[in-house]
Amino acid sequence: MRCGREAAVYRPYSGEVLCRRCFTESVEIRVRRTISRYRMLQPDSRIAVAVSGGKDSVVLLHVLAKLEERFPKSELIAVTVDEGIEGYRNESLEIIEEAVRRLQVPWLKTSFKELFGRTLDEIIRAASEILGERRLGACTYCGVLRRRAINTLAVKAGADVVATAHNLDDEAQTILMNILKGDLTRFLRNKPARRNVEGFVPRVKPLREIPEEEIVLYAYFNRIRYHETPCPYHAEAYRDDVRAFINKIETQRPGTKYNIVRIHEKITQLIPEEEELKVSTCTNCGQPASSEKCKVCQLLEEIGGS
Ligand code: SF4
Ligand SMILES: [Zn+2]
Ligand SMILES: [Zn+2]
């Protein structure tokens, strides 16, 4: 112990023993280093923070609000999408409201209902009726529509960057899943800061070097309330298997998660940067699209909407 205060955290991957205060500081320092290492933010950035109310996004909002105090020209705006999942979102909206009030951050909201005319529940019901067995997983509909909704909110907020709350565990899992699926395109595309897709506000992941466990501890030590109820559609069996596998190895060999993220970074650095990805405009909705119609319109059309 460097400071003489009571020990509260042991980090197996570094051998450090830290008190609550030193731990909190070290998390914030690591986020700050991640941000400068990948040039995620500028001193005058207008940052849209995607906040769902879960532990990662609420902690991200708190850490960025603290870091942002040093940059008076930068601004934070919390952005939230209500997917329309019965019995799930309401509590999280209250939690976000409390957080934005505490931190005095402006908050912009939208919903699938407002943007796409239906809630996620209604979309899944329609997809099951029309497509039966061929219906995609709820998280596929949710992910595609939420990405569009967050981008719409970021544009509305005049933001020049969107910060999302992916943590070290999420990143390590995604990298390994892409390897296991043999998906080289996604493997290479997964960047800490993605700014080269025309029509989309650039996205950055300031928490990508913070293990999930430490996000929970940060929230606990700093009395940050978050939404713990899991989404009723959460059933991503593949990711759960990969999570269990990585966690097992991490227990036996601390530092494995960092190693996965680092080796991925080294490999992607060997490959020349993608040119700005040119995308065309969706003939239906006018939003950026990689083919004639954007993914959102394709999904909604299949289930008789849009
Ligand atoms: S678990 Fe899936 S359906 Fe639920 S909020 Fe997350 S992405 Fe959406
Ligand atoms: Zn200390
Ligand atoms: Zn479209």
Q: What is the pLDDT along the chain (306 residues), one digit of tens a residue?
A: 678 899 999 999 999 999 999 999 999 999 999 999 999 999 999 999 999 999 999 999 999 999 998 888 999 999 999 999 988 888 899 999 999 999 999 999 999 999 999 999 999 999 888 888 778 888 889 999 999 999 999 999 999 999 999 999 999 999 999 999 999 988 988 888 876 677 789 999 999 999 999 999 999 999 999 999 888 888 767 889 999 999 999 999 999 999 999 999 999 888 876 655 667 888 998 888 878 898 999 999 988 865
Closest atom of ligand 1 to CA, residue 142: 8
197, amino acid identity = V
Ligand 1 atom 5, closest CA: 231
Kindly list the distances between the CA atom of residue 44 and the CA atoms of 72, 159, 200, 284, in Å, as whole numbers in the listed order: 8, 11, 19, 35
In whole angstroms, what is the distance from residue 265 CA to residue 250 CA?
Answer: 19
Length of the chain measured in residues: 306
Sign of the C-alpha dihedral computed for residues 269, 272, 278 and 279 taken in this order: negative
The closest ligand to the CA of 239 turns out to be: 1
The closest ligand to the CA of 295 turns out to be: 3
Backbone angles phi and psi of 14, in degrees to 5: -125, -10
Number of structural domains in the chain: 1
Q: Are strands 193-194 and 203-204 parallel, antiparallel or unpaired?
A: antiparallel
Ligand 1 atom 3, closest CA: 139
234 lines ligand 1 (CB under 6 A): yes
The closest ligand to the CA of 144 turns out to be: 1
CATH number of the CATH domain containing 158: 3.40.50.620
Q: Is residue 19 part of a domain?
A: no
Rg (CA), the chain: 20
- Ligand 1 centroid, distance to 232 Cα (angstroms): 8
| pLDDT (0 to 100) of residue 306 | 54
Q: Is residue 20 part of a domain?
A: no
Q: Is residue 25 part of a domain?
A: no
Structure tokens at 63: 């850490």
Q: Is residue 8 part of a domain?
A: no
In whole angstroms, what is the distance from residue 288 CA to residue 79 CA?
Answer: 20
| pLDDT (0 to 100) of residue 258 | 97
Q: Is residue 26 part of a domain?
A: no
* b/e sequence 175-209, b meaning 16+ C-beta within 10 Å: bbbbeeeeeeeebeebbbbbeebebbbbbbbbbbb
- Ligand 2 centroid, distance to 28 Cα (angstroms): 14
233 lines ligand 1 (CB under 6 A): yes
Closest atom of ligand 1 to CA, residue 139: 2
142 lines ligand 1 (CB under 6 A): yes
Give 255-304 as a DSSP string: THHHHHHHHHHHHHHHSPPPPPB--EE-TTT-SEESSSS-HHHHHHHHTT
Q: Which domain covers residue 242, as residue numbers?
A: 32-302
- Ligand 3 centroid, distance to 146 Cα (angstroms): 14
253 lines ligand 1 (CB under 6 A): no
- Ligand 2 centroid, distance to 222 Cα (angstroms): 15
